Amino acid sequence: MRIIPAIDIINGKCVRLTKGDYRLKKVYNDNPVEVAKQFEDHGIKYLHLVDLDGAKSKHIVNHNILKEIKTKTNLKVDFGGGIKSDSDIEKAFENGADQVTAGSIALKNRELFVNWLKKYGPGKIILGADFKERKIATDGWMQNSEADVLEFCKEYQKEGVSYVVCTDISKDGMLQGPSLGVYKEILDNVSVNLIASGGISSIDDLKKVKAIGCEGAIIGKAIYEGKIKIKDIIELC
């Protein structure tokens, strides 16, 4: 299982939110590039980079930080936040993204998302399936829908999606454990590489996520708060 630390960016700084609430942000470092370099120095190979300014603004904002991270590290970066148009996704790839995560557009403009899958290939496009009480949320988690997370994943498996990042918003930043039941339900019904996100707070949580078959796990606050040590992650891998 791939372990993927997260860097979320607001105003050029490395932050974490609680339950996706922009009012409940905590700044951990003024320099996301330095944080990325520290991850790499400890043996990490992957990074989940989220442009929260972009998610709120509905277009990419922090592409320069993506470019700098890719220039100064060898990390493989999946980038998300504000990717709503052809120009946005082109900008993400031009600035070095190895993969792009898109969720809002998959719900609101199916045709465009499917076109991206065909143009760039399923290895480059990750479906963002962020949910609250099983319902998909969009636009930096500020908008709710009636789309069920399992049906959402099923629908896009038929279109060729092979990677899905699934975040339970109610658990994000809470350090109270991941949504194992939902992840297992998805894995039992959909053939995708599922990346778990939200609530992971310990090595034991990572072992449980791995045991049910997740291809990857994204960790944010648990690292920044010292709940999970990088050396323990490397040992697990």
Per the rule left: phi > 0, alpha: psi between -120 and 50, beta: everything else, 229 is: beta
Q: 20-24, 136-140, 145-149: which has the minimum mean pLDDT?
A: 136-140
Average pLDDT, the chain: 93
Give residue 171's pLDDT: 78
What is the C-alpha separation between 138 and 122, in angstroms, rounded? 21
Mean of pLDDT values over 148-152 = 96
pLDDT at 170 over 70: yes
With CA atoms as reference, report the closest residue to 125 among 113, 136, 135: 113
Active site residue 130: yes
pLDDT at 140 over 60: no
pLDDT at 173 over 70: no
Query: Could you tell me where the beta strands, DSSP code E, fall in 56-192?
Result: 76-80, 99-102, 125-132, 135-138, 143-148, 163-168
pLDDT level of residue 26 (50, 70, 90 thresholds): very high
pLDDT level of residue 46 (50, 70, 90 thresholds): very high
Give residue 89's pLDDT: 98
**Which of 51, 53, 88, 130 is flagged as catalytic?**
130
What is the C-alpha separation between 176 and 237, in angstroms, rounded? 22
pLDDT at 44 over 80: yes
Give the whole-number percent of the chain exceeding pLDDT 70: 97
**Which of 8, 78, 88, 168 is flagged as catalytic?**
8
pLDDT level of residue 174 (50, 70, 90 thresholds): low
Give residue 139's pLDDT: 67
Higher-confidence position of 173 and 122: 122
Give residue 67's pLDDT: 98
Question: Could you tell me the fold of the domain covering 2-236?
Answer: TIM Barrel (3.20.20)
With CA atoms as reference, report the closest residue to 144 among 155, 133, 159: 133
